[in-house]
Structure 1
Amino acid sequence: MKKLTLTGKSIEEILTIFEENMGIKNGEYDYLVIDKGSSGFFGFLARDAVIEITIKKEYYERRLQEFLKNVIKYFDDRIEISVFSKNNRVFIAKIQGEGIGKIIGKHGKGLGALQHIATIFLNRLSDIKITVIIDAGDYREKRKELIRKIVGSAVEKIRNGAKRIELDPMFSFERRLVHEFLKKYPDVVSHSEGVEPYRYVVIERRHLNDNIKTRKSRAYNNR
């Protein structure tokens, strides 16, 4: 995770100031002493202490949970939030409660917006790219099954003569699911068009003269 190199009169002073400035708690970071420092001889040849601090995932989990609580309380302060990380780059938040429908919004737009601002918030605290995934009442799993059905229906239309099917605009994770599901249908190809938040997937019949270059180009757009 994020690493910082800090200097000060002593290791204790560095850690105290660091905790206060970052709002970080003991156990949410590790540190390595680079130089213990020295008071010198009668003030001469004095040397600052130097340590390298590594901020741990526990800090980001706590900050993400606090951020989400502050936002969600305006919808329903009884909603429960749990946060965990798969690794140092992907953080997952699960929210449960009777009021989650207000958060999910129509077609999941509210949930997508919350995830977007949560991702921005957490990335401002880190020096590596972090992905935030928010699931409300297993909405994503239900949405996944719906997308699977949408893909099956679109492929059926292509096989019945349609040359091109344009799906409704989707979030990036939903478009990835579409492209993934379509891999089992060798007679169709897909790519994404448009600009966020109106980017959508296009499904077409695969032609025999589709060459490798064309497929690579489409693969680049499968986002």
Structure 2
Amino acid sequence: MSTTLEIEGKNVDQAVQKACQRFNLSPGELKYDILSYGSSGIFGLGRTRKARIRVRMNLVDVTADNVRGDATLEKSPEPGIGRQSPVPAHAEMPLSKSVKSAEPGNPVGAGKEVLQRIVDTITDNARIDVDTQPERVVFRIEGDNAAILIGKHGQTLEAMQSLIDKVVNKHNSHRIRVQVDVGNYMQNRKKRLIRNAQRLAQKCTQTKKPVSAGLLNAYDRRIVHIALKDNNSVQTRSTGDGLLRNLMILPRKTTGSGQRRC
């Protein structure tokens, strides 16, 4: 009869080392399954999860002195075969291995895997659906704690989108436009931006004076530029440097050069 002991460590190597020390075995003699690779979060954020292995031992080799600390004892229906069993489907993969498993042949799959890893460090029970559209690929996150995933003024969502955009387009000669959305937040914000842009354009037309739409990121500026590109009374212009730039709505001059997008 055999028994199994689950041992945790900061990573798999540490868990294996602890098991070897406990049972006075070399790594080559130890028989174990990897239950979890562990996680330190993304950029130091999110919950830290320990790596966990299941060590298979003959029952006669296990004594009370062996079972202590972070090991839990349970009976196993069959003896272990080989040094290391295949990784279970539910085991957590390191972020770097997750990316390599899906690129470069499937960049969208790589983006989904990385995004799932990020989301899992922030909240639980979140699902990601991929919607491939003619102009872009949308990663829709569904689950609890939407406010945490969106962040203040959508900053967390924008950060995730920027990262996934880089992952998806890492090996692509033709850029794929990427959008990450949580609970239709981005779609609703787009509608608000368009309504506000049309309102400000009307004000600009009536007063014949420039109107500021405020400091906007590149994605929001593009929405406003496109929303007003067919308006013959106004033109849009971005001023300033950095990620956030002031978007101005100006009366269109009859001899002007048209609209400039930034």
Alignment TM class, shorter chain as reference: 0.5 to 0.7
Q: State the partner residue of 1:177.
A: 223
Q: 1:201 to 1:66 in 2, by over 3 A?
A: same
Match of 2:249 in 1: 203
Alpha-carbon distance between aligned partners in 1 of 2:224 and 2:131, rounded to the nearest angstrom: 26
1:163 aligns to what?
209
* Aligned residue in 2 for 1:101: 147
Q: How many residues align?
A: 164
Alignment of 1:37-56 (within 5 A): 56=105
CA deviation after TM superposition for structure 1 residue 128, in Å: 3.9
What one-letter code is carried by the residue in structure 1 that aligns with 2:127? Answer: E
Change (3 A) 1:130 1:183: closer
CA RMSD of aligned residues (A): 2.5
CA distance in structure 1 between the aligned counterparts of 2:246 and 2:125, rounded to whole angstroms: 35
**Larger radius of gyration, structure 1 or 2?**
2
Q: Give 1:178 shift.
A: 0.8
Q: CA deviation at 1:132?
A: 1.8
Equivalent residue for 1:194, pick from 240, 244, 249? 240
Q: Is the 8 A contact 1:119 1:131 kept in 2?
A: yes
1:137 positional shift: 0.7
Within 2, Cα distance between the matches of 1:206 and 1:126?
38
Give the aligned partner of residue 72 of structure 1.
119
Could you tell me which residue of structure 1 aligns to residue 192 of structure 2? 146
User: What residue is the counterpart of 2:48 in the other structure?
Assistant: none
Q: 1:91 to 1:208 in 2, by over 3 A?
A: closer
Report the Cα offset of residue 196 of structure 1: 3.2
Kept after mapping to 2: 8 A contact 1:79/1:100:
no
TM-score when normalising by structure 1: 0.64
Aligned residue in 1 for 2:101:
23
Indicate how the Cα distance of structure 1 residues 127 and 183 shifts in structure 2: closer, same or farther if over 3 A, else same. Answer: closer
User: Does the 8 Å contact 1:169/1:197 carry over to 2?
Assistant: no
In the alignment, what sits opposite 1:131? 177
- Aligned partner letter, 2:128: I
Can you give the 5+ residue segments of structure 1 that lack an aligned partner in the other structure?
A: 1-21, 29-54
Distance (Å, rounded) in 2 between the aligned partners of 1:189 and 1:125: 36
Shift of the 23–151 alpha-carbon distance from structure 1 to 2, 3 Å rule, reads closer
Partner letter of residue 105 of structure 1? G
Q: Per-residue displacement from partner, 1:45-103 (whole Å, max 9, x unpaired)?
A: xxxxxxxxxx64xx22322111011111122121111124336x843211112212112
Query: What's the CA shift for 1:207?
Result: 2.4
1:90–1:131 contact (8 Å) kept in structure 2:
yes
Identity of aligned residues (%): 23
Tell me, yes or no, if structure 1 residue 92 matches structure 2 residue 161: no
CA contact (8 A) 2:124 2:144 kept: no
**Alpha-carbon deviation of 1:118?**
1.0
- Kindly provide the CA deviation profile for residues 10-58 of structure 1, in whole angstroms up to 9, marking residues without a partner as x: xxxxxxxxxxxx535xxx9xxxxxxxxxxxxxxxxxxxxxxxxxx64xx
Structure 2: unaligned runs, 5 residues or longer:
1-99
Match of 1:7 in 2: none
Deviation at 1:151, TM superposition (A): 0.9
2 CA distance for matches of 1:111 and 1:188? 31
Hey, what's the Cα distance between the residues in 2 that align with 1:99 and 1:171?
A: 24
1:60 aligns with 2:107: yes
Which structure shows the bigger proportion of residues in helix conformation? 1
What secondary structure sits across from 2:249 in the alignment?
Answer: strand
Q: Which residue of 1 aligns with 2:79?
A: none
